[in-house]
Amino acid sequence: MTKPRVLSGIQPTAGSFHVGNYLGALRQWVAMQDTHDTFYTVVDLHALTVAPEPAEVRERTLSSFAQLIAIGIDPLKSTLFVQSHVREHSELMWMLACITGFGEASRMTQFKDKSAKQEAASVGLFTYPILQAADILLYQADEVPVGEDQRQHLELTRDLAGRFNSRYGQTFTVPKPHIVKDTAKIVDLQEPTAKMSKSLPSGCVFLLEPLKTIEKKIKSAVTDSETVIAFDPENKPGVSNLLTMQSAFTGTSVEELVVSYEGQMYGALKKNVAEIVVAFAEPFQNRVNELLNDKAELHRLMKVGADRATEVAAATTVNAQERMGLIPR
Ligand code: TRP
């Protein structure tokens, strides 16, 4: 039995992953290495859509790659690579762009949201979902683990795969979204009605920030004016979030935790969560630093991943080129 193939990507748009990234998605990437044939990519081309500083792109790409290894993505088990190292992403994107309707692309809600926040949106931001489709289709992925916010991009990817296959002959696997249901939804520590996000840094726990800061952020998390530790995301979002975090990091169910906290105050919960997150972050930070201090090794690992990814991507691209009538080189 061959394992189903998985592909997912993360943008190198922050200096550090945060607890929400880890518990919501990346933890799943790590687990899937045992059950799936996993391809994971740092999508640096996607990061260019908002014209960041070159030094920032470089630094964040290296750091994201190192952080993925540090959380447990094993470059021997997974094909871990940097998107721009595999030029087929850009090539297939163009071919897919030519079968994408302008109206179809215009309906992408993430583009509408993102472009509304910018003074001048780039064409790259507009075609972003087509590049994402290329990322996925190049590897014949069966499943794509993504968050709910990527559902529409996955639908577009499926439509493009189906359209290409029916117009030019069977070429691409039509991928299924793997919207992870039982992953922990982590909210902002200061504004527990918002999802934890780097855009609200005061309520966001970055895995690479000083351990003291992590501790402080968790200990000053917003709770409520009651005193009972109970799980009720609607009425007690702050306390419930801390319980979710403790449960996700330790594997103990929320129900069991609630029982164990009987008679205790919020301070006890915060103290435990802070300890648990710090205990995770400390070895993570050491491993990231170790990797970033050995650039030669990091580049070697990037090349291993890029070579392996290119084998698959090149075969798919030649096939797609032939079917569209392009003469392969
Ligand atoms: N758009 C995705 C996000 O912002 C990142 C991404 C790019 C991706 N290419 C992908 C995710 C391919 C899954 C598969 O989260």
Q: Encode pLDDT of 13-63 as tens digits.
A: 999 999 999 998 999 999 999 999 999 999 999 999 988 999 999 999 999
Q: Is 116 exposed, middle or buried (0-12, 13-18, 19+ CB in 10 A)?
A: exposed
Gap from CA of 8 to ligand 1 centroid (Å): 6
User: Residue 4 pLDDT > 90, yes or no?
Assistant: yes
Q: Provide mean pLDDT across the span 233-243.
A: 96
CA dihedral sign, ordered 51, 55, 60, 61: positive
- Asked if residue 12 has pLDDT above 90, the reply is yes
CB 175 within 8 A of CB 141: yes
pTM here is 0.95
Quote the pLDDT of residue 180: 72
Residue 15, CB-side half-sphere exposure with 13 Å CA sphere: 11
| Maximum Cα–Cα distance across the chain | 73
Specify the pLDDT at position 181.
Answer: 65
Q: Among 5, 6, 8, say which to mutate for ligand 1: greatest number of ligand atoms within 8 Å of CB.
A: 8
Confidence band, pLDDT 50/70/90 cuts, at residue 148: confident
Q: Pick from 89, 128, 88, 138: which is nearest to 105 by CA? A: 128
The pair of three-digit structure tokens given for residue 93, joined into one six-digit string: 């994107």
Contact predicate 145/184, CB 8 Å: no
Atom of ligand 1 nearest to the CA of 11: 5
Q: What is the Å distance from ligand 1's center to 132 Cα?
A: 6
* Residue 182: band (very low, low, confident or very high) from pLDDT cuts 50, 70, 90: low
Q: Could you give the percent of the chain with pLDDT greater than 90?
A: 90
Q: Is the CB of 11 under 6 A from ligand 1?
A: yes
Of 83, 127, 150, best ligand 1 pocket probe by most atoms within 8 Å of the beta carbon = 150
What are the tens digits of pLDDT across the range 77-113?
999 999 999 999 999 999 999 999 999 999 999 999 8
Residue 114 buriedness (CB in 10 A; 0-12 / 13-18 / 19+): middle
21 touches ligand 1 (CB under 6 Å): no
> Which spans in the chain are helix H?
19-21, 27-32, 44-47, 54-71, 88-97, 102-106, 109-116, 123-137, 151-168, 211-219, 237-250, 254-260, 266-292, 295-324
* CB of 206 closer than 8 Å to CB of 190: no
The rounded Å distance from CA 35 to ligand 1 centre is 21
Is the sign of the CA dihedral 50, 56, 58, 59 positive or negative? negative
* Sequence letter at residue 228: V
Atom from ligand 1 closest to the CA of residue 132: 9
127 lines ligand 1 (CB under 6 A): no
Report the share of the chain in percent with pLDDT over 70: 99
pLDDT confidence of residue 147:
83
pLDDT tops 90 at residue 187:
yes
* Phi, psi (rounded to 5 degrees) for 172: -120, 145
**pLDDT at residue 120 in the model:** 86
